[in-house]
Amino acid sequence: SLGALGSELLITGSVTGNIFDRELMVWDSADPSTPASLGANINTYSGSGDGSSFPIGYVTRCGESYFTASAGFDFILENRELWKWDGFEASLVKDFYTGGTNAGRPQSITVIGDEIYMFANDGVTGQELWRTKGSETVRLTDLRSGVDGSVSGSPGIMSWNNQIFTAMWGPTGIELYAY
């Protein structure tokens, strides 16, 4: 997975060369002769198995790059939540589904204006539409009550005529929604 922030290219790569050891790597195009270096070691899990954070889905908003990554567990899908990179350090933006190895698994991360929209699972309402401005993250919908959520697959999110559009499960099946 690739992303960009200013002159930095963000890469999901490995310092060790181990295919199972994927972390946030940074390459600065201002000095192309310097190889990519470890930007952040998000997953600090030290048990047996996969200790990779495997950051993916980079998008840029207001001088910061947002992505999903796994932290603290031995499998790349466990505890996958929303993170950001400000050019110096990575920090957790939102732990949607707290506790143990549960994961909010944000997907379809889309920047519209100065906001980021995505689908994520909080463990109570299932996969629903969320919005963040970096410091505050809120759920926008709960169309299908219960843990099943309103999202099936990875629907897109887009902006058109000053509205946000997506397709989600509604009362009569998959429907188009505008916000």
pLDDT in tens, 8-48: 999 888 877 777 778 888 999 888 888 888 888 887 665 55
**E strand map for 49-162:** 56-61, 64-70, 80-85, 90-94, 107-112, 115-121, 127-132, 137-139, 157-160
Give the least confident one: 64-78, 80-94, 134-148: 64-78
Q: Is 129 in contact with 140 (CB distance < 8 Å)? A: yes
- Give the predicted TM-score (pTM) of the model: 0.86
| Residue of 86, 107, 123 whose CA lies nearest to 157 | 107
d(CA 130, CA 96): 10
Write down the pLDDT at residue 58.
Answer: 93
Write down the pLDDT at residue 174.
Answer: 80
Write down the pLDDT at residue 100.
Answer: 62
DSSP state of 24: E
pLDDT mean over 122-133 = 90
Q: Is the pLDDT score of 101 beyond 80? A: no
**Burial zone of 154 (CB within 10 Å; 0-12 exposed, 13-18 middle, 19+ buried):** exposed
